[in-house]
Structure 1
Amino acid sequence: MSLDLNSCGLTAADEKETDLEELDVSWNDFVSGTLHLFIEQMQQVHKLKVLRLSSCGLTSEDVQTLGDALEMIPELEELSLSWNSKVGGKLPQVLRTFQKGSKIQTLELVDCALTSQDGEFVGHLLPKLHSLEVFDLSINRNIGSSLDIIAQGLKSTVGLKVLKLHSCGLSPKSVRLLEGQHIHLTPLLLCSPPSPLTFPLPHNMNLRTGVGTCLVDGAFASLDVLRTLDLSCNKDLGGGFEDAPAQLALLKHLEVLDLHQCSLTADDVASLMKQSQTAVIKKEEAMAPTFCTTSILGPFLSLT
């Protein structure tokens, strides 16, 4: 049984829950400051598998009590806390129960104002998330100094299928791509326009040059079942793919590589296309955000 109350404009009086497996109360302001009322009901939802609290205006008190709630729902497989800035700096408190092991398969922490300490915690936590398949760490600007630790953790997430680092300020040295190996990219999203749910922001996390490189070099060899890699809206990536080594070639099951709004150069695109001759690229994907040229991609797609 599932209960979807996303954007329903509920009030605190509507909060009584039953024995559920899925609860989505995203984009409801009533949750702000009232999460303790949910905790009182957690004994009734101990079989909950999906909990979505995106953009609920969680307060510091809510975040502190959320950790207690998660201890009461050991069957949880999906948790979304995206667009709750108060999570930043308190992630170890929220996810402390996961340190004992977890069945979590999807973890979404988009735009949570995570700190470098939160990033370090994530890196140490990842090896304990043996079931993790989808991990979204997009739009967190202050975790650059902890990316090396996150990369070490990613080595243990052998079942990871979707990794999203959208709008993370990656530099040209952050990614090493597609050299001399066969990799099936279907579709290859080099220049697609942002999805309505992507929320690209103009100000990105500032990573030191080369910090992101360890993420690619250290982790990709272990992520051999990865299907989706989102590096979009990292506007400093342009020029970083011209002489890239074979790291992405290790991702033999990769189906979607999203590089929209990365300021790719013509040489970048030529290098990518050289390594993806079998890629099927949708013609409707717009090229303008990455400044690509028809002279390079003419045989594969058209500008829209």
Structure 2
Amino acid sequence: SITGEALEYIPHLEALDLSWNSDIGGNLSKVTQHIPVQFELKVLNLTECGLGETDGEALATAIGKMPHLEALDLSLNKYIGSIMNSLVVELKSCSSLRVLNLHATGLHQDNIQYLSAIFHYWPNLRVLDLSSNKEAGGGFREAAARLTAFKHLERLDIHQCCLSQDDVNALTQVIPLLSNLEVLDISSNKAVGVSPEYLFSRLRFLPRLKSVLVNNCSLKEESFAALAEASHYLLDLRVLDLSWNKCVGGKLKLLLDTLKTATALQSMVLSSCNLVTQDLAVLASAAQAGHLDSLQQLDIAYNDTVVDEGWMLFFESAHALKNITELDVSLRPSSNRSCGPWFIHLLSILVKLPGLRELGMQRWLLTAAEKQQLSYIMTEKNISILFD
């Protein structure tokens, strides 16, 4: 309540962040009742504040007093879905809205449909995060077409929304029209992987795309091939996450053209992809050719399918990853293997990579001598090495 009373004396306040205060839930009105009319606030963050149905009226009233609001974050308040329809009425007046974050807010299918009906009121929206709303599946069948109202949309995050096949089909038609999109996260949606490859083939029409996250989408061979082909046109690609898609194993060579052209690539995540020796040979070749000079993060953990020969090929060439800062080669939690003859090459690259700050080696069985060598390097080179 003290915070609420203070708002009366700072009408020109532009940002208010009350996140991670769970006691606000059920008591939001004690804060919002002091908000002056025509409040100049531009940023309101209420992440994980325990907001519920009893806070709906207070939140709606507060938003109605913020005509200049540009960023609203209600993430991790799992009951927002129950009050969303009342919020929509007031959100219409927020014509300056640029960022809307509703991650894990308990949105349902009807919430998505109702919310999308006012998309055209936010012509300047740049970021839309509707992720981790598992009951939202089916709601994008109609909402997808309304995304075209966002002419300047740069980030679309709908991961873990249990998208239906109809949702994916609708998004396939709309994706090419979001020409300013820079980040697309559709991870953890199984329907994406089993759908025809058309969704991925249309990514080529998004020239500004920098981040593509499709981890854990149950990709099929055709879908991965289409994604690999389309990514060749994404010259500014910086983040590519294909983790937990088993079909990638043995087929990483399909990304070879992308590795040659996406010279700005900074992060590649290929954990649990069933990689084999041939795949690590592709990475080694790309590194030697200088195609991965910008790479800072490489995650190839949980690929127990790679034999010693593959690790040898990789570590013999890993010194070419001259800007790498994070590297993870850990095994699955249920696995344990002794390091092979490649270990000596690993020690060599740890000395030759000045920027490396973190190395994941969990579940690799190390001898006392190997542990001692790694511990020495940790101290001398200031590298955090995670091993069991």
TM-score past 0.5 threshold: yes
| The structure with more radius of gyration | 2
1:260 paired with 2:333, answer no
Alignment partners' CA distance in 1, 2:272 and 2:178: 33
Query: In the alignment, what sits opposite 1:228?
Result: 267
In structure 1, C-alpha distance between the alignment counterparts of 2:182 and 2:365, rounded to whole Å: 36
Structure 1 position 271 matched with structure 2 position 310 = no
Q: Which runs of 5+ in 1 are unaligned?
A: 176-212
**1:32 touches 1:56 (CA, 8 Å); kept in 2?**
no
Deviation, 1:99, is 2.1
What residue is the counterpart of 2:257 in the other structure? 218
Q: CA RMSD in A?
A: 2.8
SS in 2 for 1:110: coil
Q: Name the count of aligned residue pairs.
A: 263
Are residues 83 and 132 of structure 1, via their aligned partners in 2, closer, same or farther at CA, if it must alter by over 3 Å? same
* In 1, Cα distance between equivalents of 2:245 and 2:215: 6
Q: 1:116 to 1:41 in 2, by over 3 A?
A: closer
Provide the rounded CA distance (Å) in 2 between the counterparts of 1:302 and 1:61: 42
Question: Is 1:287 aligned to 2:361, yes or no?
Answer: yes
**Percent same amino acid at aligned positions?**
14
Partner of 2:203: 126
Looking at both structures, which has the greater relative contact order when contacts are Cα pairs under 8 Å and sequence separation is at least 6? 1
Unmatched 5+ residue regions in structure 2? 1-69, 320-348, 379-384
My pick for the range that moved more, 216-225 or 294-303, is 294-303
Letter in 2 for 1:262: N
Q: TM-score, normalised by structure 1?
A: 0.76
The 2-side partners of 1:137 and 1:238 are apart by: 20
Residues 59 and 303 of structure 1, relative CA distance in 2, 3 Å threshold: closer
For the residue of structure 2 that corresponds to 1:6, the secondary structure is: coil
- State the TM-score, normalizing by the size of structure 2: 0.61
CA distance in 2, matches of 1:218, 1:237: 18
Distance 1:140 1:166, change over 3 A: same
Match of 1:185 in 2: none
- Distance, in Å, in 1 between the alignment partners of 2:107 and 2:280 is 50
Give the secondary structure class of the aligned counterpart of 1:30. Answer: coil
Contact 1:119 1:147 in 2 (8 A): no
Residues 77 and 103 in structure 1, CA contact (< 8 A), matched pair in contact too = yes
2:233 aligns with: 156
Contact 1:116/1:144 (8 A) holds in 2: no
| 1:243–1:271 contact (8 Å) kept in structure 2 | yes
Letter in 1 for 2:265: L
**Could you give the per-residue CA deviations for residues 105-138 of structure 1, whole angstroms, max 9, x where no partner exists?**
0000101113456451233211110110011010
Q: Does residue 237 in structure 1 map to residue 237 in structure 2?
A: no
| Mapping for residues 140-179 of structure 1, pairs under 5 Å | 140-170=217-247, 172-175=249-252
